[in-house]
Amino acid sequence: MMQKVLIGLLTLLTLGAAAQKSPTPVLDWKASATLPTYLLQTVQSQAVQRRAVLNQALTSAAGTQAYRDSARARFKRVLGPLPARTPLRARVVGTVPQAGFRIEKIVYESVPHHHVTANLYLPAGKGQKPAALLFCGHEQTSKATPSYQQTARLLARNGFVVFVIDPVSQGERMQLTDAVGKFLTRGGTTEHTLLNAEANLMGRTLPAEQLWDNVRGLDYLLTRPEVDAARVGCLGNSGGATQTAYFMGYDDRVQVAALCSYVAEGARNLTLTGPADGCVPLPGAGAAGLDIADWPIMFAPKPVLLLTGRYDFVDQTDMEAAFQDIHHAYAALGQPDKTDIFTYDDGHGISAPKRAAAVAWFRRWLGVGGPLVPEDGAPALPEAALRCTATGQVTTSFKDEETLAATHLALAKTFQHSPYSAEALAAVVRQQLGISANGPTPLIAAETRDTLRRPDGQVWQQLILRRDGEPPLPARLLLPVGPTPPTRLVLWLPGRGAAAVLQDSAVRLAAYQRQGTAVLLADLRGLGETADPAAFNDPKYYNQEYRDALLSLHLGRPLLAQRVADVFTLLAFAQSQASFTALPLFLRADGVAALVALHAAVLSPRIGQVQVSGGPASFSYFLKNPATKDAYSSVLPEVLRAYEVADLRRALGARLVP
């Protein structure tokens, strides 16, 4: 008897160990490359369409002007709304004397109770002078960064009034801090990314909010009697170059510009380095036909200079190609001398040779005569010497400070959704997801790859489901044992991927078999087999699928919307199987797939019941918890203006089961 018990225990242990072994993948290629490859191919396709339009436009001055004006309009559309002008309440809170100029510490409010810190470099001497706005890259020290101090000093020594603004989430303007000013995230680029996800949910963008700080900065600069309003330029490095690009594409008051280590997104940039920090991406920019050269083209024919490092991670070939497009546009407008490129044999950043080239460019086009005044070699001032706040952070220095996170949450609370009928909500959801009333394109192939026989007796058919223009979908089908046809179909969408279910849910699957239930287990795109490796998703972005999610937004097809389309692919497969056509269909999903399932069930009456676990309880959850990870997986631009997760649940009624 004891021997039989031991044999039984050994058998169970053997079966358990076998069940824990990772199952054979469905896709027989490097599956993790599938979704990024698909997305980047679509990026390239959009870029090809833009190229054809641009090439045609550049054949004439009229065509170039029309393209420039169209690009400006498209940019403003994807940028999102900007606030109204309100009192700046600007004040000078300190002065730092320097040889030949002084530095004033400035605080102003770009919107009420939202403080911007900046340094104003004022050359000695009387009379109005040309001015430059200097936009900082992603260095945490921002306006106090030595290379930006040196750039401002050089401009000031050459007779320019220079305004250096702390970008949001940098310098003295961190937004996500505790009561004593301690950062709640890894730093500025993480904050940019999290705040942009929040803004996107409301149809706004962090780039627009950052741009508004800069627009109001120019408003302040033009109140100064020392500034000649007709002679204003802007320049920036890295993330500051992106700010410059957006600024010169928006504000007509700027007369000359220079972009150093320019990193606004473009098709080749996205392929080489992936999506950038949250202060760069504009949802739908690819669908709108915008690429890296378009912002300087929007500025044409005003003078613009590109500053590049031959060994910069911002690809030199990409910058040279962008410059060729810019130069062609300027030539078509009869002003080829008003654009140029300066390249130095160094890397990322505005080094001394690039600073000198930028200042010479500004002198040339803003009417400053005489020889270039060189750098004075003075050391950079310590960060504390340039601070505008008592504590070093606006959040702890101003009792009335309203952070962007607080602004977003307050705005979201103003959105009122009237109760939807099920039909009305379905129409709104379809519009939000970009799915036509006729649904996605039909299934074109269901390829049976092989059969997976497990030690526990389960036999799974491994399938690849294909739909025209979409990445293939790996799925597994489990049928009840015996000749009796199935009485129910469970469509299971695991957030961790199908392999995890096969390893961890053997008991549940066996129960389904005994109940006569067929199970269709699938990996939605970007999950399970096709999940993007961690190496391509920098931890600073707080999102394990940042690359896929941001590429999707760039294309104008949010990842959540694409995954809902995948559910329709699975439904199309079920409908194509005679034994499933009339069966009750139960949709089960968890984690990141839960929100997908709720949307799909609202759209498809074919889904009888739906059960979800995990996932965000609401879209506004990300606004209430701004440091939450993986927000971009659930971002639908402007969704909070249309509906909430509670609306989806309410529409499903009794179909949503616990």
List, for residues 69-126, the tens digit of each pLDDT value: 999 999 999 999 999 999 999 999 999 999 999 999 999 999 999 999 999 999 999 9
CATH tag for 418-655 (out of 3.40.50.1820, 3.40.50.1100, 3.40.50.300, 1.10.3210.10): 3.40.50.1820
Strands 101-111 and 129-135: unpaired
Tell me which fold the domain 78-413 belongs to.
Rossmann fold (3.40.50)
pLDDT over 80 at 438, yes or no: no
Q: What pLDDT, on the 0 to 100 scale, is given for residue 264?
A: 85
Mean pLDDT within 127-144: 97
CA distance 55 to 63: 10
Mean pLDDT within 372-390: 96
Block residue for tokens 């039989």:
4
CA distance 217 to 230: 16
Mean pLDDT of the chain: 94
Q: Which of 393-397, 406-410, 435-439, 559-563 has the lowest mean pLDDT?
A: 435-439
pLDDT over 50 at 590, yes or no: yes
SS3 call for 496: coil
Q: What pLDDT, on the 0 to 100 scale, is given for residue 265?
A: 84
Mean pLDDT within 265-289: 94
pLDDT over 60 at 401, yes or no: yes
Task: Quickly state the pLDDT bin for 21 (edges 50, 70, 90).
Answer: low
Q: What pLDDT, on the 0 to 100 scale, is given for residue 481?
A: 81
List 611's β-bridge partners, or say none. Answer: 588
Q: Does 35 or 468 have the greater pLDDT score?
A: 35
| Residue 207 C-beta-side C-alpha neighbours within 13 Å | 28
162's CB contacts (< 8 A; 6+ apart) are 120, 121, 131, 132, 133, 134, 152, 155, 156
- Please name the helix (run of DSSP H) or strand (run of DSSP E) that holds residue 464, with its range, or none: strand 459-467
Q: Which part of the chain has CATH 3.40.50.1820?
A: 78-413, 418-655
pLDDT over 80 at 456, yes or no: no
Which stretches of 96-226 are DSSP H helices?
146-157, 188-201, 206-221
Mean pLDDT within 146-157: 98
Task: Quickly state the pLDDT bin for 12 (edges 50, 70, 90).
Answer: very low
pTM over 0.85: yes
pLDDT over 70 at 173, yes or no: yes
Q: Is 12 exposed, middle or buried (0-12, 13-18, 19+ CB in 10 A)?
A: exposed
Q: What is the pLDDT of residues 494-509, one digit of tens each?
A: 999 999 999 889 889 9
Contact at 8 Å (CB) between 171 and 140? yes
pLDDT over 60 at 16, yes or no: no
Strands (E), 219-323: 227-237, 256-260, 304-309
pLDDT over 60 at 362, yes or no: yes
Residue 177: both structure tokens together: 């801090």
